[in-house]
A and B are shown apart, each in its own frame.
Chain A
Amino acid sequence: MQLSWLDLSIIIFYFIFVLSVGWYLKKFTKTGKDFFLAGRECTSWVAGLSFLAANMGALELLGWSASAYQYGIIATHWYWIGAIPAMLFLGIFMMPFYHVSKTHSVPGFLKLRYNEPTRLLSAVSFSVMTLLASGISMYSMGLVLATMLGWDFNTCIILSAGTVAVYVAFAGLKSAIFTEIIQFFLIWCGALLIPIIGLVEIGGWDNLVAMVSQRTAEMGKTGEFMHLWSSMGRYSDNPMGLHWLGIVLGLGWVVSFGYWTTDFLVVQRVLAAKDMRSAKMAPIIASFFKMAIPFIVILPGLIGIAVLPELKPADSGTFSLNSYNAVLPLLIKRYFAPGLLGLGVTALIAGFMSGMAGNISAFATVWTYDIYRSVIYKKGTDRSYLNMGRICTVVGIIISIGSAYLVMQFASIMDYMQALFSFFIAPLFGTIFLGMFWRKATDWGGFWGLLTGTCSSISMFLLLKFNLIEGKWLAFSNDASAMAQNMWRAWWAWCITIIITVIVSKFGKPKSDEELVGLVYGITKFEKESSYSLFHRPSFWACISLVAFLILNIIFF
């Protein structure tokens, strides 16, 4: 793909713009609270859009449009049942605890609810995973830009990582949130035009459905490509090899609730909300936009099936312009003239940088508050922790670059990344869930539940990997795909965490009610929503979002 001087100018202007925003925000960042929590003064819209943008990296856009090309509309489950109920649950039931406890991080909440070892276990695993995820994202970005635009791989990585390091080091979460929102709008402006032009070219939705059926038959693909639920009665009836029960329990409950309610990468944004109502509204506002994302991600994948039927699967750790992964860039090239093309490519770069900034700002907070301050240097001043935040932002980026080159040597790491991340997400959700909703969970019950759940998840993965157990032991069928097995593994790891926490708690002494105020449901009293007018009540908008979610699922059933 050849870029004109106009397209390049658009990209260069973007880099200058985000650096300038970071520089501007630096003078408003004077305390640790400013740097790590954006001053806790974000409105619900700012926190909500940033919450969503941190998850909306380019890898996500490219990956899910490729999945839609490969598996059809079923990939939408990751945006709807795999996100919306969890986001609403976070807003209505969990944000009040995060907000009232005044915690600065998710591991910080574990310290308040359980004990120091539980916090440390969670903080260390989160730091390792975040830096590895950031490296993988960086590697993918270098690969995509190098292949698509013919740029040098090293230059792509160093330029974008350097830019992120500079603007996050300037103002921490504050600049991460500002740039994420700017990137959010850029992504929509760059990507929304693709399905609009695509549908005009194809002749509307009905023609798209007919063409997808025809093309998938020509490609020799089996299974239902244009329905969400109707083909999920058996693993073999849909191209993803999934079963509805696995989707509901694994994705809809454990994986999505684990990610959206306990992954500090996203939760950090809502912790920055200025008051209780904003904290509750933020994920609810985000849920409406999350529901709309399939129109700029999944729909282009389906349009790709119709107009670019020649794409092939890519080898692990590679990116080629005739692979599924290239469907979105190829559509940009197909429909966009110079000028618009620059906007489309800038949207992709913005997406990569948004994900990177999210990872790094979350890492800086967890490292500084939950590891450095709690274990290494307890008597520091606010100024010294602020400086540490800036230093570890830069160090975190350097480690991420290192892990990007590590991935380059061992491309199969990418295959295991989803699994690696899920080792920690499902058990963490179990621990926090019991911590918030069961007052009898004890300090050590939480710790051992989290540790056992994590170890059991890793063990199940290894047993399956080395064929020591069969897939049906976890997923009730040998037809279950690796993705379906991942979901069932998450479900079992969550169950084990819950069971162990309950058993260990039975032998320990729970904290007193006074110690649990602000941390546990039933003990804590929150302000009533009835003091707001109907249109200002979070629960009202959560109901509207839930109804929209149900309607969409029925339409595409």
Chain B
Amino acid sequence: MLSFLLIVIAALFFTGIINRTKSIFSGRKGPGIFQPLKDVMRLFRKESIYSDTTSFIFRLAPSVYFSSVVMAMLVVPFGQSKGLISFSGDFIFFAYVLALGKFFNIIGALDTGSSFEGMGASREALYSMFAEPAFFVLIGSLALLTGYTSFHEIFAAFHLGSPISYALAVLAAFVIGMLMMIENSRMPFDDPKTHLELTMVHEVMILDYSGFDLGLILSAGMLKFAVYGAMIVNLFIGIFPYQYAIPMFFAIQAGAAIITGGIESFMARFRMSHNVQFIFALTSVSLLIFFGALLILGKFS
């Protein structure tokens, strides 16, 4: 329950901080931190216009996408307090429920019969396919290290063994951070500010959404950021008492947002045709963590 509240609060300002960082780096004053939130609230009150090619899939897709992120959020724990849903193997549910959202996002894009949205859909399907192994291998290695198979137990037992695990945690944070960028279609995998449909991934998929549905998609994106941020937090806080853990949570979330903003200010996007290779390379980082876990457990001897 605690993690749920914290993630929602973090989601409120995450995108705002990213935008603010970008504006400061580019020498602008920039909008306030809560501007994305206000945008979404405005969208929720606006009328919706639909393409006449679309069917009920297009109308259903944003709701499914949003609720899939909400359900994924419920699984994420916070240090010693469990998520609302917790069972052994819950990370499988986490990954697959996010896949449900993606599935609907993709078919929602195909529903418009557009010449561009299929392109984004195709890329999204391919990227998420290659991103998922990294996540599963990462969690597999953490499970191996701790001997548990649920988020809560893994994170609670992560640093009990030896302090070397913090080195693994840094690597794992890198992997999850990159997954966060892929899932949210951010730099260096996708450029949310591009203005050419041909070079978009996520943005082109939602071209035809308006009003409430667009608001749902945007707010799901905000939540997703906070969910992955919370996972990074979990890698470090372990069983810290709450008075340290909660400030750390917000500090790390804010840090993640600032880094995201920084990356977007200073990096160019990867070449579209090589994106998949970059994404799959994440799996090899996960494999490093796996071998690290094997080393710590002394299985090589």
Do A and B interact?
A: no
